[in-house]
Amino acid sequence: MKVNCNKEGIGKASEIIEEGGIAVFPTDTVYGIGCNPYDKKAVKKVYEIKSRDFAKPFPVLVFSKEIASQIADFDDKSKKIVEKFWPGQLTIILKLTDMKLKESLNLADKIALRVPNHKCTLELLEKCKYLIGTSANVSGQPSFFDPQECIKNVENYDVFVDGGTITSKGESTIIEIEDGQIKIIREGSLSKEEILGL
């Protein structure tokens, strides 16, 4: 099923996600694919669609820092960083405090979180709170910016939220705070200098 980025489309997509469905949706970086992160069966299906190694954990998209703090632990430094860069192209790895998510996502004690800067995704997250948020391409293949290309190449999802063509500066930058220091795990569209310049 294909829906538009309007109230009706977002409502339909969130219902499908709540029922265990898989959604493809636009973000501020690329077209993403995801599901309810608490639904173990749906999580497994996303791994299969992407041909992704089960040992590689998925990041989770959240609606806001307040929602994120219900499942993860923020120290002063990580709070300051997300207040500056969220919503935006920054993924931060934090200590996970939600044991249900630990089990459904097969995580150790950390989780990667991001608030995307895209009106459509945020409206979807406002209803769902949390979504697995990974690029919709098969692992190792290029990401999708064009909805038609994405529809043509991705299979086995339940709903496609069409947000038009994405003009993106690339992937999110992934960071982690270790002993009070910012550690860059992957440099994406946010430069190391921008983040360390806080």
- Residue 196 pLDDT: 83
What is the rounded CA–CA span in Å between residue 194 and residue 197? Answer: 5
112-155 pLDDT, tens per residue?
A: 999 999 999 999 999 999 999 999 999 999 999 999 999 999 99
Domain that holds residue 76: 2-196
Break the chain down into helix, strand, coil percent, rounded to 5. 35, 25, 40
Eight-state DSSP code of residue 71: T
- Please tell me the pTM assigned to this model: 0.95
* DSSP 8-state assignment for residue 160: E
Question: What is the domain-level CATH number for residue 60?
Answer: 3.90.870.10
pLDDT at 169 over 90: no
Tell me how many degrees the CA angle 175-160-148 measures, rounded to the nearest 5: 95
Tell me if 95 sits within 8 A of 176, measured CB to CB. Answer: no
Count how many domains the chain has: 1
